[in-house]
Structure 1
């Protein structure tokens, strides 16, 4: 029968013995606290924050042998794992998106480099200043959707973000532009 209360020492020992009910107790009692550490770091995506939380608990399970009670409390150790995983995830996601955005911009500038001004380019004259009012991630999505002609699905795939996030960001950007242009 699973225990309802554990001392920190008992919990760590049970985790090191790979007792699943101890891990269940750990998750039930610490998931919300760790999520509250992850969410402010991974601000734009609740789904990503949940993924990071899952990764954190997997790391805790795998690395419990490295926990040393003389260096700090269990929660502090887990908090550091959560914070580091959040930052690592954010950095890698940001890097991938930045690389994809740069590649898209380079490809689109090559198409217009022959000195020909297309009808689409004429329509965007003057919009650059208006788009500067948007957050960079919103501006990129608006440019891809409305000036480059990509579908929301294509943007989600290119940027490696969920389709719902693409739609939400574009909607927020359009609302911001509407307010700005009033």
Structure 2
């Protein structure tokens, strides 16, 4: 049975406030419980992340009603795929925001395709060059990357995952994490320096 979620995000006290636990750990625990069918944990996961997820979707689709629909679709996907989440590949929040962004982009593309069919012409999307960060990551051994990412702080790792594994720009990373652009750039710079030092240390 799939639990019902609200059509629009609700404001709640962030996870970890006053509990002595950090938010990423709390979210990972709630997702694990959701994977076992715990609907209360899924509801808490929704309450704690829906504002960010809705914000990401709204920035893409630019329509609140459609954003609410896409957000619900996203949480349905999270519920269905919670057991498949691999913590070694990134944080729960980064995973959820990536899912949300992809679903929002899919909605926009679907609407564009429908309009194109109605107008009797096909829209061909230009081939995009791969992000330099993605090309670098592709050349590295996956296990080596996971070891290096594990040396970063949580906030550095989330930014790096979104920018170089998720393919987002610095501005998009700032928006996804709801932080100033300068802060996002600092986290990325510090994280990259730490990764570089880690890789150089392995080659000595």
TM (normalized to structure 1)? 0.51
User: Residues 9-54 of structure 1: CA distance to partner in whole angstroms, max 9, x if unpaired?
Assistant: 32122111110001110111111110111111102x2111111000
Are residue 10 (structure 1) and residue 29 (structure 2) matched?
A: yes
Matching of residues 25-174 of structure 1 within 5 Å: 25-43=44-62, 45-102=63-120
Q: Does 1:23 find its partner at 2:38? A: no
4+ aligned runs moved over 4 Å, structure 1 = none
Contact 2:34-2:82 within 8 A present in 1 as well: yes
Which structure shows the higher helix fraction? 1
Residue 9 and residue 39 in structure 1: after superposition, are their counterparts in 2 closer, same or farther (change >3 A)? Answer: closer
* Aligned equivalents of 1:49, 1:68: Cα separation in 2: 27
Cα RMSD (Å):
1.8
Q: In 1, distance between residues paired with 2:27 and 2:59?
A: 27
State the TM-score, normalized to the length of structure 2: 0.46
2:27 and 2:93 in contact (8 A); partners too: no
Report how many residues are paired: 99
Larger Rg: 1
CA distance in 2 between partners of 1:75 and 1:92 (Å): 26
In 2, distance between residues paired with 1:7 and 1:39? 26
CA apart distance, 1:81: 0.5
Q: Residues of 2 paired with 1:7 and 1:26: CA distance?
A: 9
